[in-house]
A and B are shown apart, each in its own frame.
Chain A
């Protein structure tokens, strides 16, 4: 058996010892046979987010789709953060039995069939959250920003904005000295939300421009991008004093250039804060030289489903359909928004994911996001650990690939987010997915973005976000390679 520690958290020492002791006792009692023991890999995780999709112990098997081929992989994952004294043995046994298909599926209500993570229903929940954000905030009594780990968005930090404005102004002065300043200075922020950062940025830029007498402000065209006109309308008042400079662009964050084809090679700065960590993602496992995609199936434990059903009048036989209907149509079936939101919030807390691993060549369709394929990925992984699990950051990668062509030859992309900056970090931590209010949160594989960007002619750099202590935010920025 292989025992893997995927974290550096000393708080899990006792849980780690308990796992080893429990496994040995199960072998001694004959509840785990030696053959099973020999092919077991137990991975001890410390999941980044308290609110997540994992049961304490899960079995993750390889899946071939063929009855005559035994599963090539048999992993047990233990979230050492959740391990509770006294229940570990039962949790381990249940996971092992599930892996051996001895347990029926009656202990859970599946919300979907096994599917690649980026197409899972949990992303529908995520979209549903953003559509009904006000209702969620009203019910929980706090705004989304307040739910963030730092109590607010790092993108709004005035010192960070001040430094950025200064750097940007210096860039423009340098271009002007070389007679390379374009007639219009285009900027783009994707995911503007309330418009607060745009407003702060423009205020500070206008003032700095006035103080230095550079005269750039009238040339500024600030393109504010978000997913709907409704959202953008809410952002308009924040930038009312900069009306001449602002443009409001509905766009899919995954494909910014589609909304702004006329700005190809013309944007001096693109900024995103906490957008990539909320884009559909999936995970890949590299094991023994092979690549496996993690397929997931969202479910609600039967006990929770029964409790929710009794409380909100949802018969068990209709549970899945009612959930799907809610995501599609809203809260009408619950007799109104107030009751519906309460159901939704409790349901979201209860939603879990089970997993299976499917080899790349056994997948029914090409699984890679634009900008990547197996050959490129293998090149990228040449120096990476041989046995590890990592994010593909599919949505982030597509957004990235569809943003780079917007950049002016001297322009740069600046992203405030939670990045894994080196593939090796995946062996010292488990980075998601987690739940943040009603949304889904994933760390972003910055190391992968960096490699892909290099092949597109950009270097990618990371610097820590120095403006708030203990933040996990870092700043990705690009520079052009000649």
Chain B
């Protein structure tokens, strides 16, 4: 029995429900990736789906990221609706030719004749002491590329709801799933059925400062906002949700209300999504700002293995609170 709205489920279960629903409703949908079948998924997202849907639709692939991602692109162009799982963003670099040179370009190069309705899911992020090669947050690389749509569900509702519009989109959609959120529990609400792919969402309203973030950092911001509230600072949290396109209207709308902004990004600062968001605020809302834009990003090091160093490298509530207090500056 699938738990419905109102129940508490994990992020993992929310993603799995979405995949199961898609498989049940559309015979064109299939899941393909490394260890998605017999193993049940590296993060147990697809556990049980092989028994339920069979080998044809739950396809274990060889460790050939380029071939199976490219095959997903081809199958999508030919009328199927593949969900391609790349175990983590780290391994997606072995398929980046297919994603950037094929998925993102073919609709355009063909003069619009061949849309590429593929969905590519991949886990992202650090926080589990997996060291430098298993801890990347490279969302910005993909968000850089016209032709792709890039989303990152950070909530249970989005984890449950984003797959359906992604599969309905005629464009290639990359869904980033933060590894550190798979075990997160939360309430599934009716809103999951109506989520879209392109709008940011005010996760927490507040009058004093805007925190713009996405992915696992949403919850770091929530913790920081609670701490700030205790000292009378009400932070508004904007969960970007869509990393391409960026929802300028939502970002600027919040900044115009609070006039102060801190951007929290698990990517490295240099050339990051935080840089893009900040520049859009400068371009479109410079005169609405009462203080310089603040940023909390991952330190510019490959992610180290020891816990104390990894923690020190990543954005955390304490650094977010400190950045907000700096931004509040004279106002406090």
A binds B: no
Residues of B within 8 A of A (CB): none
